[in-house]
Chain A
Amino acid sequence: MTQTRRAAIIGGNRIPFARQNGAYARASDQDMLTATLEGLVARYGLAGERMGEVVAGAVLKHSRDFNLTRETVLGSSLSPATPAYDVQQACGTGLEAAILVANKIALGQVESGIAGGVDTASDAPIAVSEGLRETLLKLNRAKTPQERAKAALGLRPGHLLPAIPQNVEPRTGLSMGEHMAQTAERWGITREAMDELAVASHQNLARAYDEGFFDDLMTSYMGLSKDANLRPDSSLEKLAKLKPVFGDREHGTMTAGNSTPLTDGASLVLLGSDEWAAEHSLPVLAHLVDAETAAVDYVHGDEGLLMAPAYALPRVLERNNMRLQDFDFLEIHEAFAATVLSTLKAWEDEEFCRERLGLDQPIGAIDRSRLNVNGSSLAAGHPFAATGGRIVASLAKMLHAKGKGSRGLISICAAGGQGVMAILEAA
Chain B
Amino acid sequence: MGDTYSQIVNSGLGKQVAGTLGLPRPSRLRRYTPGGTLIDGPVLVGGHGDAPLAARVRTLLGERGVAVAEAPAADAPSEETLSAVVADLSQVQSPEDLESLRALVGPALKRLGPSSRVVIIGAAPEQATGAAQRAARRALKGITRSIGKEMRAGGTANLVLVADGAIDNADAAVEFLLSGRSAYVSGQVVRVGAGHPSPAADPARPLAGKVAVVTGAARGIGAAIAEVLSRDGATVVCVDIPAAGDALAGVANKVGGTALQADVTAADAGSRILEHCRSRHGGLDIVVHNAGITRDKLLANTDADRWATVVDVNLGSILRMNETLLSDEGIREGGHMVLVSSIAGIAGNRGQANYAASKAGVIGLVDALAADEGVCARGITVNAVAPGFIETEMTGKIPLATREMGRRVNSLAQGGLPVDVAETIAWLSQDANAGVTGNVIRVCGQSLLGA
* Interface residues, chain A, with chain B CB atoms under 8 Å away: 35, 38-39, 41-45, 47-48, 77, 212, 214-216, 218-222, 225, 281-283
Q: Name the segment of B79-87, B258-266, B362-370 touching the other chain.
A: B258-266
Q: Which residues of A contact B253 (CB under 8 A)?
A: 38, 41-42, 47, 77
Q: Which residues of A contact B260 (CB under 8 A)?
A: 43, 216
In the complex the two chains form, is B243's CB within 8 Å of A283's CB? no
In the complex the two chains form, is A43's CB within 8 Å of B281's CB? no
The one of B238, B243, B279, B282 that contacts A225, using a Cβ cutoff of 8 Å: B243
Chain A residue with the shortest CB-CB distance to B259:
A42
Closest 3 CB pairs of A and B: A42-B249, A42-B259, A42-B252
The one of A41, A220, A282, A283 that contacts B242, using a Cβ cutoff of 8 Å: A220
In the complex the two chains form, is A281's CB within 8 Å of B249's CB? no
Chain A residue with the shortest CB-CB distance to B235:
A45
Q: Which residues of B contact A216 (CB under 8 A)?
A: 260-261
The one of A38, A48, A219, A220 that contacts B256, using a Cβ cutoff of 8 Å: A48
Interface secondary structure of B, over-half rule = helix
Q: Which residues of B contact A281 (CB under 8 A)?
A: 279-282
In the complex the two chains form, is A39's CB within 8 Å of B280's CB? no
In the complex the two chains form, is B242's CB within 8 Å of A225's CB? yes
Roughly how many angstroms separate A48 CA and B249 CA in the complex, as a whole number?
14
In the complex the two chains form, is A38's CB within 8 Å of B250's CB? yes
Task: Please name 8 pairs of A and B residues whose Cβ atoms are closer than 8 Å in the assembled complex, sorted by A.
Answer: A41-B253, A77-B253, A215-B242, A215-B262, A219-B261, A220-B244, A221-B245, A225-B245
In the complex the two chains form, is B242's CB within 8 Å of A43's CB? no
Roughly how many angstroms separate A220 CA and B280 CA in the complex, as a whole number?
23
Contact size class for B?
20 to 34
B164 at the interface (CB under 8 A from A): no
Roughly how many angstroms separate A221 CA and B244 CA in the complex, as a whole number?
9
B393 at the interface (CB under 8 A from A): no
* B371 → chain A closest CB, angstroms: 35
* A380 → chain B closest CB, angstroms: 16
Chain B residue with the shortest CB-CB distance to A41:
B253
Which residues of B146-205 have CB atoms within 8 Å of chain A's CB atoms? Answer: none
In the complex the two chains form, is B258's CB within 8 Å of A219's CB? no
In the complex the two chains form, is B245's CB within 8 Å of A38's CB? no
In the complex the two chains form, is B261's CB within 8 Å of A215's CB? yes
B406 at the interface (CB under 8 A from A): no
B246 at the interface (CB under 8 A from A): yes
Q: Which residues of A contact B282 (CB under 8 A)?
A: 281
Roughly how many angstroms separate A178 CA and B240 CA in the complex, as a whole number?
45
* A208 → chain B closest CB, angstroms: 13
Roughly how many angstroms separate A139 CA and B249 CA in the complex, as a whole number?
48
Q: Which residues of A contact B250 (CB under 8 A)?
A: 38, 42
Chain B residue with the shortest CB-CB distance to A280:
B280
Chain A residue with the shortest CB-CB distance to B250:
A38
In the complex the two chains form, is A35's CB within 8 Å of B281's CB? no
In the complex the two chains form, is A283's CB within 8 Å of B279's CB? yes
B26 at the interface (CB under 8 A from A): no
B257 at the interface (CB under 8 A from A): yes
In the complex the two chains form, is B266's CB within 8 Å of A212's CB? yes
Q: Which residues of A contact B258 (CB under 8 A)?
A: 42-45
Chain A residue with the shortest CB-CB distance to B244:
A220
Q: Which residues of B contact A77 (CB under 8 A)?
A: 253-254
In the complex the two chains form, is A219's CB within 8 Å of B262's CB? no
Chain B 432-448 interface 0/1 with A at a Cβ cutoff of 8 Å (1 = within): 00000000000000000
B53 at the interface (CB under 8 A from A): no
Chain B 279-295 interface 0/1 with A at a Cβ cutoff of 8 Å (1 = within): 11110000000000000
B380 at the interface (CB under 8 A from A): no
* B442 → chain A closest CB, angstroms: 33
Q: Which residues of B contact A221 (CB under 8 A)?
A: 245-246
Which residues of B259-316 have CB atoms within 8 Å of chain A's CB atoms? Answer: 259-262, 266, 279-282
The one of B246, B254, B281 that contacts A219, using a Cβ cutoff of 8 Å: B246
